[in-house]
Each structure stands twice: as C-alpha cells, then as structure tokens.
Structure 1
Amino acid sequence: MKTCCRLLVATIAAFVLAVATPVAAIIGGWGVIPDVDDDAHVQEVGAWAVAEHVKRANDGLRFGKVVSGEEQLVSGVNYRLGIVAVNLAGQNARFNAVVYEQSWTNTRRLLSFDRA
C-alpha cells in the first residue's frame, strides 16, 4: 500500500512539474518569447538577421521590427522570428528567420530567412 501511495504522489508531482514548466525551459522545446516589442536583445537579433540576409541576397531590405518570436534551448539558443522589413519600393513585408546564437563563444548564424 505504501508503495502504491508513493507511486501516486510521484506521478502527480511529475505531472504538476511538467505542466508548470515553460516549454522554452525544456531543452529542445520551442517556447513563445513574450513581449518581443520590449525585448531589446530579440529586436537586435532580428536586425542582425535582416543585415545578414542583405549581405547574401543584396536586395536592400531594411529592418522594421520583430513582431513574433519563439526560442529553443540547444547548446545555445535558436530563435524563430517573425520580422517586418521594408523593401526597396518602401513596402512592408513579413519574413520568417531562424537564427542560432551561442553567447559564450560569440557565435551567431542565420539558418534561414524566407518570405512569410
């Protein structure tokens, strides 16, 4: 009987912990970045992504702002960002970018940049 009660308590505790743990805190899981408008680092990563894209594509895009984002903890952080940028005609366009960043090695890579 004691073993059964301990197993039940352990199961309930594991469930509560799983529900209470944000997805981003789980290694490999994607989690929503709250308040991307007010997150200076996320905005800087988005601006960097546009600049890096322009180096490759030479299409003259200009960074507007990051409007949505998710992060994934790996051996560093993957950012999946929704970005508004301005094209050469002055029109806003939305793009999706994935950026890998590892702060302790000062590494940043643009993994993808596509029109949304």
Structure 2
Amino acid sequence: MATRRLPLLLVLVLLPLALSLAAAPARAALGGRGALVGGWSPIADVGDSHIQELGGWALGQAKHERLASDGLRFRRVVRGEQQVVSGMNYRLYVDAEDPAGRAAPYVAVVYEQSLGVGSIS
C-alpha cells in the first residue's frame, strides 16, 4: 500500500511544479503582465455547494490516506483558488476543527477530472 502512495504523492508534488515551469516562458513573453493561462485564480464563490462538498471530500480522503488527523472535522471552505488544466485543480483552504473544538486549518489541493474527482494532496 505504501509503495502505491509514493508514486501518487510524487505526481501530486511534481505535476504542479512542471506546469509552473512550462508556463514561465509564456509569462515572460507577456512581459510578466496579464493573466497567465493555466495560472491559479481566486474562486469567486467559495460558498457554492460544489466547492463545499469538495472541501469535505478532500478532508475525508486525507484522513483515509493518513495525510490528516482522524480527529479533524470539516466546518467549511473559507477561500480557494482554481486552475484550469485538463480538468480543474482546486486549492482549498478548509476551516476544520480538532476533537477539542479548536480551529485546525487545512489546505487541500484537489484535481477534478470532467468525469469526477481524481486525487488530493
């Protein structure tokens, strides 16, 4: 099981890095001005039910994969960013709480394919 998680973790770490490096020449060609195609942009309505559902799903998956403490409980997504790729990447800032009720902020990066959610980090 651990050997399967390592390649997935490497992909989740290296893919955003590769995408940002590939986009650097395009940004330089624009003189560093303007929106960068494939760049991260703020999510306008984090209160949207789909975004809130993704945040809850991501925290649940993180607990299942032991990337987050089992005791964390999802409250809501407080802000986020999105990036158009072959699907959609979301960087979600989750307001969670520990078993004592204290705030436990959590950041989840979710890749959503057009046919469903793909992975988290």
Structure 1 residue 86 displacement after superposition: 1.1
Unmatched segments (≥5 aa) in structure 1: 1-14
Structure 1 residue 42 displacement after superposition: 0.6
Q: Residue type of the partner of 1:56?
A: E
Match of 2:80 in 1: 69
Match of 1:54 in 2: 63
Q: How does 1:9-28 map to 2 (within 5 A)?
A: 23=35, 26=37, 28=38
Q: Residue type of the partner of 1:66?
A: V
Structure 1 residue 89 displacement after superposition: 1.7
Distance 2:85 2:49 in 1: 21
Distance 1:31 1:72 in 2: 6
Return the match for 2:49 from 31, 40, 46.
40
Larger fraction in strand: 1
Distance 2:53 2:117 in 1: 14
Q: Residue type of the partner of 1:40?
A: S
Structure 1 residue 87 displacement after superposition: 1.0
The normalised TM-score by structure 2 is 0.65
Is 1:31–2:37 an aligned residue pair? no
1:11-40 per-position Cα deviation (integer Å, ceiling 9, x unaligned):
xxxx9xx95xxx48x3x1111001212x11
2:105 is paired with a residue whose SS is strand
Write out the 4+ residue segments of structure 1 that deviate beyond 3 Å after TM superposition: none
Is 1:96–2:114 an aligned residue pair? no
1:34-59 per-position Cα deviation (integer Å, ceiling 9, x unaligned):
1212x111101000011001112252
Q: How much identity, in percent, do the aligned residues show?
A: 48
Structure 1 residue 108 displacement after superposition: 2.2
The normalised TM-score by structure 1 is 0.67
